[in-house]
């Protein structure tokens, strides 16, 4: 079963970049959303969603199969990935 | 003031703030450069050197708590991680910042 | 170094209760603040990013920096969110209606 991964990120944050890089290097498909570069019309809605998921304004916020991980934390990413090879 | 000059002045200003709090600049020089560069851009765009890894709200009182160095406003959490959220600062005894995980305040 | 430690500044009457008045004894940026009738003198420079504190908001003895809202107790100079950080404080006295500020090592 393919894992469903969403990375809420800030374009200014090196840890968000490392997170995206980690999933790319691990050959795991993911959707990445840079919240700070979204057009104004979408930004509030998406940012509010990320805040609701994470309970704060810290990024990255990674959602793996519905589980939320806040921060660049490969150990936690691995814990929640179920796809082949993990 | 150009970006390079502002980065240097932020280094000078921050050092005096974080030292008494038990923190220092991360020994990861490339990371520090990148974070400071982003902060200078945020300051140029938005008026303050906000944390590059925390998002602004539309409430000034909240946003001022993520202006760098934001350690005083998140002390217990950052002391637990031995680093600040974006990793620009680490506890003085830290020599290997990559070994420090990033976790939210309610997790160990 | 020798020299006058007590440096005259402005008329005491010019510092109203609840007001912050910047003065520059020997070129040093000092903020005179009167809280509940008592005069205090602190450095006119925030410990965060060196912003002048004179445009800040004074509520009771709490002075909030206009730049990024860092809050200080003007009686002790203490930064309210981390006691390790403080703005310098200066002793004051009034002679012949003038406020004198003590500059250490001046």
Q: How far apart are CA B48 and CA A26, in angstroms?
A: 36
Residue B108's pLDDT is what?
57
The two three-digit tokens of residue A61, written as one number: 């916020």
What digits encode the pLDDT tens for the residues A35-52? 999 998 899 999 999 999
Whether residues B57 and A36 touch (CB distance < 8 A) is answered with: no
* Domain of residue C61, CATH code: 2.102.10.10
Q: Half-sphere exposure of residue A54, counting CA atoms within 13 Å on the CB side? A: 27
Name the β-bridge partners of A32: A7
* Residue C25: Cβ within 10 Å count: 21
Q: What interface predicted TM-score (ipTM) does this complex get?
A: 0.93
Nearest Cα neighbor of B85 from A50, A56, A66, A22 is A56
Contact of C53 with C75, CB cutoff 8 Å: no
CA distances from B77 to A80, B39, C74 (A): 24, 21, 28
Supply the range of the domain harboring residue C37: 6-102
CA distances from B2 to B8, B40, B41 (A): 10, 9, 10
Nearest Cα neighbor of C32 from C12, C49, C47 is C12
Q: Which residue of B has its CA nearest to C66?
A: B64
- Could you give the number of structural domains in chain C? 1
Contact of C92 with C101, CB cutoff 8 Å: yes
Nearest Cα neighbor of A5 from A57, A48, A46, A60 is A60
From first to last of its 108 residues, chain B has per-residue pLDDT tens of 899 999 999 999 999 999 999 999 999 999 999 999 999 999 999 999 999 999 999 899 999 999 999 999 999 999 999 999 999 999 999 999 999 989 999 875
Whether residues B34 and A14 touch (CB distance < 8 A) is answered with: yes
Q: Give C-chain residues touching B20 at CB under 8 angstroms.
A: 82, 84-85
Distance from CA of A10 to the nearest CA of B (A): 6
The two three-digit tokens of residue C24, written as one number: 């520059």
Q: How far apart are CA B14 and CA C65, in angstroms?
A: 17
Note whether residue C1 is domain-resident: no
* pLDDT < 70 regions, chain C: 1-4, 105-106
- Could you give the number of structural domains in chain A? 1
Contact of C48 with C68, CB cutoff 8 Å: yes
Q: How far apart are CA C53 and CA C66, in angstroms?
A: 7
Residue A32's pLDDT is what?
97
Measured CB to CB, residues of chain C less than 8 Å from chain B are: 47-50, 67-69, 79, 81-82, 84-85
| CATH code of the domain occupying B3-99 | 3.90.460.10
* Domain of residue A66, CATH code: 3.40.30.10
Note whether residue A59 is domain-resident: yes
Note whether residue C23 is domain-resident: yes
Q: Using CB atoms, which residue from B13, B20, B72 is nearest to C50?
A: B13
Domain boundaries along the sequence of chain B: 3-99
Q: How far apart are CA C6 and CA C99, in angstroms?
A: 9
Confidence band for A77, pLDDT divided at 50, 70 and 90? very high
Note whether residue A46 is domain-resident: yes
Whether residues B20 and C50 touch (CB distance < 8 A) is answered with: no
Size of interface B-C (CB pairs under 8 A): 28
Q: How far apart are CA C100 and CA B13, in angstroms?
A: 30
Whether residues A12 and B38 touch (CB distance < 8 A) is answered with: yes
* Residue C21: Cβ within 10 Å count: 18
Phi, psi for residue A58 in degrees, rounded to 5? -90, 140
Q: Half-sphere exposure of residue B28, counting CA atoms within 13 Å on the CB side? A: 18
Whether residues B71 and C84 touch (CB distance < 8 A) is answered with: no
Supply the range of the domain harboring residue A29: 5-71
For an interface test with C, give the residue of B39, B57, B64, B84 to mutate (most C CBs within 10 A). Answer: B64
Q: Give A-chain residues touching B41 at CB under 8 angstroms.
A: 12
Q: Do chains C and A touch (3 or more CB pairs under 8 A)?
A: no
């Amino acid at each position: 079963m393919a894992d469903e991964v969403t990375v809420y990120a800030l374009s200014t944050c090196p840890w968000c970049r490392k997170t995206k890089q980690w999933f790319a290097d691990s050959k795991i498909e993911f959707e990445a959303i840079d919240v700070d570069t979204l057009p104004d019309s979408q930004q509030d809605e998406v940012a509010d969603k990320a805040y609701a998921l994470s309970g704060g304004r810290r990024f990255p916020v990674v959602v793996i199969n519905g589980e939320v991980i806040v921060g660049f934390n490969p150990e936690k990413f691995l814990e929640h990935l179920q796809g082949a090879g993990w | 003031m150009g970006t390079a000059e502002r980065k240097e002045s932020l280094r000078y200003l921050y050092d005096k703030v974080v030292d008494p709090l038990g923190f220092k600049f991360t020994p990861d020089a490339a990371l520090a450069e990148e974070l400071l560069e982003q902060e200078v851009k945020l300051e140029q765009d938005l008026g303050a050197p906000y944390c590059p890894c925390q998002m602004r709200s539309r409430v000034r009182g909240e946003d001022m708590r993520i202006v760098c160095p934001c350690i005083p406003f998140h002390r217990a959490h950052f002391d637990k991680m031995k680093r600040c959220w974006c990793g620009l600062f680490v506890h003085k005894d830290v020599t290997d910042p990559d070994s420090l995980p990033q976790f939210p305040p309610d997790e160990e | 170094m020798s020299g006058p430690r007590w440096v005259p500044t402005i008329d005491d009457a010019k510092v109203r209760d609840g007001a912050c008045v910047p003065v520059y004894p020997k070129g040093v940026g000092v903020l005179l603040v009167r809280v509940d009738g008592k005069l205090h003198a602190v450095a006119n420079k925030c410990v965060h990013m060196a912003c002048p504190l004179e445009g800040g908001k004074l509520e009771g003895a709490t002075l909030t920096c206009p730049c990024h809202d860092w809050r200080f107790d003007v009686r002790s100079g203490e930064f309210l969110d981390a006691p390790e950080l403080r703005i310098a404080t200066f002793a004051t006295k009034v002679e012949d209606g003038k406020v004198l500020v003590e500059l250490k090592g001046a």
